[in-house]
Structure 1
Amino acid sequence: MTSSPGILEQAVLDVVPGREPDFERAFGEARSLISASPGFLGLDLLRCLEKPSRYLLLVRWETLEAHTAGFRQGPSYARWSELLHPFYSPFPVVEHYSSALSTSASVV
């Protein structure tokens, strides 16, 4: 059995229209809070082309508990919430995934 590649957290973030620049600035500050959390492996914040006030947040964690217990119950989460939660409408649903199948493009 091989070791797990970690957990992928995903959240679709619908930001109040017109507040995208402020959200991106706040996320720039919030990024340092999450990246300092034990078990954090990396993140991507993607902006939707069809709906510019929608973002996709993908965060890689070593374990589910690194996110749910470590970060969300840790000392930095209150500041994270203060920075980002006012921008969401509606509040996002967060889900966690583990790899079931992976394929990469072949290099010839």
Structure 2
Amino acid sequence: MSSLPVPGINQQASILRPDQLPATDRGAGARTVPLVTTARGATSFLNGITSFAPGAVIGHHLHNVAESVIVLQGDAVVDIDGVRTPLHVFDTTFVPANIPHHFENASDSEPMKIFWTYASVDATRTLVESGEHSRIDEEHPGGPDGSVRIVRETARITVLPGREDAFEAAIAEAAPLFQRAKGARTFVLERSQENPREYRLVVGWESISDHTAGFRGSADVERWRGLVSDSIAGLPEVEHFHHVLTAF
């Protein structure tokens, strides 16, 4: 893996080479190489490659988020809730959350390989037979210590009448200030349907201290305050949240 610094952005771009990355033995002839993970900068999805030896079958399981799989090599069989379908190279599956499924190598003599993507960094796997449950990002080399649990700063902001457009423009201008801040991962603005002057700004941080001691102690915080101060009615109500459950 090689990293490519990007000017003005806290995170780095990466080139990931599967043959140079650690793999996890899944048992029964399956082996997984995680690619984009939270430790490597993922903010909204996870992906990787699983190789199947001839005849290999992984256990029936389900995820709490949607999954898509592309066959990269060989011939496969996918079992989606009891419906078995043969797959060939570049055939692609989409399986919604909480639907039991698994993949098999259809050949007894040739290897098979799939590329998988989960629709959230909080994806989990539950084995149907045993009930064993784990986070995808913690199954792989590095385990829990190698993954990143995002803390979300949520700021509820009331905007002065007639200043909604100016406020939204100021938030867009402020986004680069956050993107270059240490530990900042995501930046999302939402507007209330029922109360159009009410907004919610959600910033994902690698830790609370990245926000409270890092960003708040930086020169950029004054620039941030200056951009929005003319548009807001009072100080934002700020809280920090951590993930508890993604059900689907």
On whether the aligned pair clears a TM of 0.5, the verdict is yes
5+ residue gaps, structure 2, are 1-142
Q: Per-residue displacement from partner, 1:46-94 (whole Å, max 9, x unpaired)? A: 1111111111111100000110111111121110011112322132111
Q: Per-residue displacement from partner, 1:15-64 (whole Å, max 9, x unpaired)? A: 00110011111111111111110100011101111111111111100000
Name the SS for the 2:227 alignment partner. Answer: helix
Structure 1 or 2: more strand by fraction: 2
Report the equivalent of 1:11.
155
CA distance in structure 2 between the aligned counterparts of 1:90 and 1:81, rounded to whole angstroms: 12
Name the SS for the 2:235 alignment partner. Answer: coil
Name the SS for the 2:246 alignment partner. Answer: coil
Name the SS for the 1:86 alignment partner. Answer: coil
Deviation at 1:102, TM superposition (A): 2.3
Matched, 1:56 2:210: no
TM-score by length of 1: 0.88
Structure 1 or 2: more helix by fraction: 1
Aligned residues: 104
TM-score by length of 2: 0.40
AA matched with 2:235:
F
Report the equivalent of 2:181.
37
Answer 1 or 2: higher relative contact order, Cα 8 Å, separation at least 6. 1
Matched, 1:85 2:229: yes
CA RMSD for the aligned pairs?
1.4
| Structure 1 runs, 4 residues or longer, greater than 6 Å off | none
Which structure: larger Rg?
Answer: 2
5+ residue gaps, structure 1, are none
Matched, 1:75 2:180: no
Report the equivalent of 1:99.
243
